[in-house]
């Protein structure tokens, strides 16, 4: 049975000890955005040799998601197995910012990510926010495709956000799902 649980005082001890470490994901190509006539169009470049990437684990202050009404942490379970999570917060521009969405490798492409996005939409609408927004990298093509499939539209590209890291060729893509 599938269920999504919001982190709260009653379950923090159960959730904060879950292994929510980042698992590798496949880099198969990059999204190539173009800005023309006030809107974005995209094409794809598929790499000859895909590779895996892993983000460093976040140092999550779970208390911030309990004591702050403007934040939420939802965990997705399938048959009592941790499948994934989404961390969200109210943002200054009246959107819900998705700080992190992650699905365990063995459960990807099975609908868990979509259900977590839908849960974020419910929470955002309850807060009278105007949509969801998030950021990912241009070379995370699988994620870009997922966000497009969920109805997100590319809203901005930042070519300098990652300039101080070894992966300086990456561009930050900001995605929006307006209600």
Query: What average pLDDT does range 172-177 have in this prediction?
Result: 98
pLDDT in tens, 55-71: 888 889 999 999 999 99
Residue 43 located in a structural domain: no
Mean pLDDT over the full length of the chain: 94
Please check the confidence at residue 168 and state whether its pLDDT lies above 70.
Answer: no
Residue 39 located in a structural domain: no
Give the count of domains, the chain.
1
Residue 157 located in a structural domain: no
Residue 33 located in a structural domain: no
The reported pLDDT for the residue numbered 167 is 62
DSSP annotation string for the chain: -EEEEE--TTTHHHHTTS--PPPPEEEEEEEEEEEETTEEEEEEEEEEEEEEE-PPPP---HHHHHH-TTEEEEEEEETTEEEEEEEEEE-TTSSEEEEEEEE-GGGTTTTHHHHHHHHHHHHHHHTT--EEEEEEETTBHHHHHHHHHTT-EEEEEESSTTTTSTTTT--EEEEEEE-
- What pTM was computed for the model? 0.94
Q: Which residues span the domain enclosing 99?
A: 2-22+57-129
The CATH number of the domain holding residue 107 is 3.40.630.30
* 44-58, 76-90, 136-150, 162-176: least confidently modelled range: 162-176
State how far the alpha carbon of 37 is from the alpha carbons of 40, 41, 156, 159, 171, in Å.
8, 10, 14, 20, 21
The reported pLDDT for the residue numbered 17 is 80
Instruction: Enter the tokens of residue 3.
Output: 């269920």
Residue 153 located in a structural domain: no
* 40-44, 51-55, 84-88, 91-95: least confidently modelled range: 51-55
d(CA 120, CA 96): 8
Residue 98 located in a structural domain: yes
Residue 85 located in a structural domain: yes
pLDDT in tens, 14-43: 888 888 888 999 999 999 999 999 999 999
């Amino acid at each position: 049975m599938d269920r999504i649980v919001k982190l709260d005082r009653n379950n923090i001890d159960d959730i904060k000890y879950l292994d929510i470490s980042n698992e590798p994901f496949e880099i198969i190509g990059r999204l190539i955005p173009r800005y023309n006539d006030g809107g974005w169009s995209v094409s794809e470049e598929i790499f000859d040799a895909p590779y895996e990437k892993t983000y460093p684990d976040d140092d999550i202050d779970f208390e911030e998601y309990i004591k702050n009404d403007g934040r939420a942490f939802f965990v997705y379970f399938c048959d009592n197995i941790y499948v994934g999570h989404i961390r969200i917060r109210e943002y200054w521009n009246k959107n819900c910012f998705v700080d992190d969405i992650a699905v365990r490798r063995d459960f990807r492409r099975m609908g868990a990510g979509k259900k977590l996005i839908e849960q974020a939409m419910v929470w955002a609408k309850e807060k009278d926010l105007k949509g969801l927004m998030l950021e990912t990298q241009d070379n995370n093509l699988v994620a870009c495709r997922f966000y497009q499939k969920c109805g997100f539209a590319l809203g901005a590209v930042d070519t300098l956000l990652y300039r101080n890291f070894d992966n300086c060729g990456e561009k930050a893509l900001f995605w929006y799902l307006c209600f």
